[in-house]
Amino acid sequence: MFQLFENKKRKEYTLASPATGIIVPLEKVPDPLFSTKMLGEGIAVQPLEGKIYAPADGKIIQVIDTLHAISMITDFGAELIVHVGLDSVKMNGGPFTPHVKNDDTVKRGDLLLTVDLKAIEDAGFQTVTPVIVCNISDYEKFISINEQSVNAGDTILTLIEKKR
């Protein structure tokens, strides 16, 4: 007697770079909240210009009051945080201009924030921008690109869903 096995390939999803810049592996982000992956898995970008874009299609869950971070859920279910700068929360929104609000629907590449990177640096903070997947238990594997230059919209992280 033969038994048929269904060989389903697990779905893969991609996240785009939220900015033009240089890839920074999460482990090298100089903040233990990110480098130890307390918030989740991901990758970071050192932005070279002050425009932050949506890494995927989805819905804005929250524009943080201090405007330094945005949480969203992608159309494929990933719960993301795009966090601009380290300790930039202390700037109370000063260098950030939001282009989205809570409950907005966005497409990959839509402008989320404009940021005065020089103001952040002049205040003594770093501008590195982590993109974090918070619901890591929904995914079996995360594949990030190596350190290199990227343009906003380039794929930087692939998520492979768990077997169901």
pLDDT of residue 164: 66
Q: What Cα–Cα distance (Å) separates residue 17 from each residue in 8, 45, 55, 123, 140?
A: 29, 7, 6, 25, 21
Q: Which domain holds residue 118?
A: 18-161
| Tens-digit pLDDT profile for residues 32-71 | 999 999 999 999 999 999 999 999 999 999 999 999 999 9
Residue 118 forms part of a structural domain: yes
Q: Which helix (H) or strand (E) holds 122?
A: helix 117-122
Question: Strands 58-63 and 105-106, how do they pair?
Answer: antiparallel
Q: Measure the CA–CA gap between 136 and 142, rounded to whole angstroms.
A: 9
Local confidence band at 3 (pLDDT 50, 70, 90 cut-offs): very low
Residue 121 forms part of a structural domain: yes
Does residue 149 have a pLDDT over 50? Answer: yes
Residue 3 forms part of a structural domain: no
The count of residues in the chain is 164
Residues assigned a catalytic role: 83
CATH number of the domain residue 87 falls in: 2.70.70.10
Residue 4 forms part of a structural domain: no
| Residue 106 and residue 52 in contact, taking contact as beta carbons nearer than 8 Å | no
Residue 1 forms part of a structural domain: no
